[in-house]
A and B are shown apart, each in its own frame.
Chain A
Amino acid sequence: MRAMVYRGPYRVRVEEKERPRIEHPNDAIVRVQLAAICGSDLHLYHGMMPDTRVGHTFGHEFIGVVDEVGPAVQNLQVGDRVMVPFNVFCGRCWFCARGLYSNCHNVNPNATAVGGIYGYSHTCGGYDGGQAEYVRVPFADVGPSKIPDWMEDEDAVLLTDALATGYFGAQLGDIAEGDSVVVFGAGPVGLFAAKSAWLMGAGRVIVIDHLEHRLEKARTFAHAETFNFTEYDDIVVQMKKTTDFLGADVAIDAVGAEADGNLVQHVTSAKLKLQGGSPVALNWAIDSVRKGGTISVMGAYGPMFSAVKFGDAMNKGLTLNANQCPVKRQWPRLFEHVRNGYLKPSEIITHRIPLEDIAEGYHIFSAKLDGCIKPIIVPSAA
């Protein structure tokens, strides 16, 4: 089959690779119809995530058709069209039994600090991902759902991570009616978090970034007030001014490990790999939120330490909520919101790229060329 493979930092290509096989009785093999490149894939692409092996296939956002099922699979049949959460999860460990599917204990031998994620290095379990013609889906009776007839494919593929994560991020903000919510990062997750904050009754939604095309999307798609941090000497002071010097009630970090805004933080983490991630957005969140406020961290960071301003967080009495999103738990409610027209995830897609051009797709997304916000990948066999 044709599959994207990682060849080293900033280098990927498409090559012939052995079709995945049934490894476990509850596995399925899915023929991928649509996949996406996630902002967090760029951390792998840039060589930031430990144990990212040459030859690994990325891709944790994908939908497709069931091509083969293991002997124990009961809920799916060959030919079913399925959407697959980015979490690999068993449905029967301590964590899954409590709805924490993203923290499943039965699927990632390489680390206990994170669950299993498709195409996200061996640190997340060593599963090849969906930027390929076929992908192995473990626990096929548990993770995937059949795509509802009324749902469009491009909406379905964004429900497998980006929309679910943004919606989850807004929930972790514990937003109350009339709260002011500041979202750091106007990428896909930030846009969806901002849009979701309104559903939870936010009174103000503010989005911060440095890319004008993304801030424009935040205004038109997410109805948000926007600030370009490069236009201010100190974006934290600007947030204080904007909130009558109280600070925002809720801050959401939707940037993660490669945040800009502080050159030393960025270079020591994203380039030199001396930190797990550049905590610029997280530190701005800590300093922008009011005392007693809540911070929701959706940005992905590596497992190494990062220079976070934890003293400020303690002194301000902040609540920090964070997790990888347990995607399937969000779906029933999110399906309602998509069907009712409150959320239309495909509106943020800017680029549709053939699998064979994956190297260009990664570069366009990584270098933020051509107004890129969300690229999706179309495999050649789709």
Chain B
Amino acid sequence: MHPYTPQKPPLPRSTEELRDTIPGWGVDLDPADRPAVPRLQDRPGLDGGIPEPAERQPERWPRERSIEHGMLTPVFGTSCPPKGLSGRIRRLAYARYSEARAAHWLLLLGADRVDTLESTLGSFLGRQPDNLLAETGVRSELSHGGFSSRVGRGRADLVHQPLDAVIVLGPWVLAGYGAVTAVRRVARLRRTG
């Protein structure tokens, strides 16, 4: 093999061949035709002129916000206000820690797990109880080739897919174990007390 040279390796297909065979080859060759160039445009507003500041959306409940913001943004989402224990954890994460702190994100991830547990348990007391099996969509394994989509295809993800079931069922197994253990301990205390 030759030592490395200043030239680039030759292309498998010439640019003329590429232009003839690939629809639109090179139509954006000039960076001036690319909408992302330059990265920073100079547009005071989408329709010209200096726009008025955005009007504020009413805050219907105390809206959590990053402490890296100087204020509540004028517009925000109103999905799923914080509630329950998960809500308290979320409010703490926003009020105490900036986005730069791992504690901020770990608290939020922890709150997500708590939310799942308290919402699912709560659903059994309401009109729309969770159906853990149906909500996983796992019945599509039968209708959409669960076996044939995996076997003999050399997929790299098959080795860890069984962990998905652990993620879905694991918290319930742990919660069940914890509940049974607690009941046994209470019963034992009553017998001995």
Contact = CB atoms under 8 A, between A and B. Distances in A.
Nearest to B36: A171
A199 B25 contact: yes
Nearest to A305: B102
Contacts of A138: 75
Given A99-B41, A246-B8, A260 B140 contact: no
B120 to A, nearest CB: 6
A148 to B, nearest CB: 17
Interface in B138-190: 138-141, 143-146, 149, 153-157, 159-161, 163-164, 167-168
A372 B34 CA distance: 31
A371 B149 contact: yes
A359 B168 CA distance: 14
Contacts of B168: 8-11
B162 to A, nearest CB: 10
Interface in B93-130: 94, 99, 102, 105, 108-109, 111-113, 115-116, 119-120, 128, 130
Interface string A145-180: 000000000000000000000001001101001101
A228 B112 contact: no
Contacts of A371: 149
A11 to B, nearest CB: 4
A362 B77 contact: no
B42 A200 contact: no
A288 B77 CA distance: 40
A79 interface: no
B116 A54 contact: yes
Interface in A194-233: 196, 198-201, 203-204, 210-212, 223, 225, 228-231
Contact of A15 (B128, B144, B153): B128
Interface stretch (A61-69, A183-191, A266-274): A266-274
Interface string A312-333: 0000000000000010011011
A363 B133 CA distance: 12
A141 B93 CA distance: 34
Interface residues of B, number: 97
Contact of B163 (A91, A171, A200, A271): A271
* Residue among A88, A99, A243, A361 with most chain B CB within 10 A: A99
Contact of B45 (A11, A97, A261): A97
Contact of A125 (B9, B18, B77, B115): B77
A177 B11 CA distance: 11
Contact of A55 (B94, B119, B141): B119
Nearest to A169: B36
Contacts of B15: 177-178, 201, 203
B66 A110 contact: yes
Contacts of A174: 31
A48 B72 CA distance: 26
Given A126-B76, A263-B159, A342 B35 contact: no
A104 B137 CA distance: 35
Given A97-B45, A223-B22, A343-B24, A92 B54 contact: yes
A112 B26 CA distance: 37
Interface in B70-86: 72-80, 86
A234 interface: no
* Residue among B35, B132, B153 with most chain A CB within 10 A: B35
Contact of A13 (B80, B134, B157): B134
Contacts of A24: 55, 57, 75
Contacts of A292: none
B51 interface: yes
Given A50-B109, A200-B34, A360-B137, 14 more contacts: A11-B130, A11-B136, A53-B115, A72-B55, A108-B73, A109-B76, A110-B64, A122-B80, A204-B12, A230-B156, A270-B160, A326-B36, A333-B34, A359-B137
Interface of B: 4, 8-9, 11-13, 15, 18, 21-29, 31, 33-37, 39-46, 51-55, 57-58, 63-66, 68-69, 72-80, 86, 90, 94, 99, 102, 105, 108-109, 111-113, 115-116, 119-120, 128, 130-132, 134-141, 143-146, 149, 153-157, 159-161, 163-164, 167-168
28 contacts: A10-B136, A46-B167, A50-B105, A53-B79, A53-B115, A91-B45, A92-B51, A96-B45, A96-B46, A139-B75, A177-B26, A201-B29, A210-B154, A211-B153, A243-B9, A246-B4, A263-B160, A271-B160, A302-B105, A333-B28, A359-B136, A359-B137, A360-B140, A360-B144, A362-B137, A363-B137, A369-B145, A372-B144
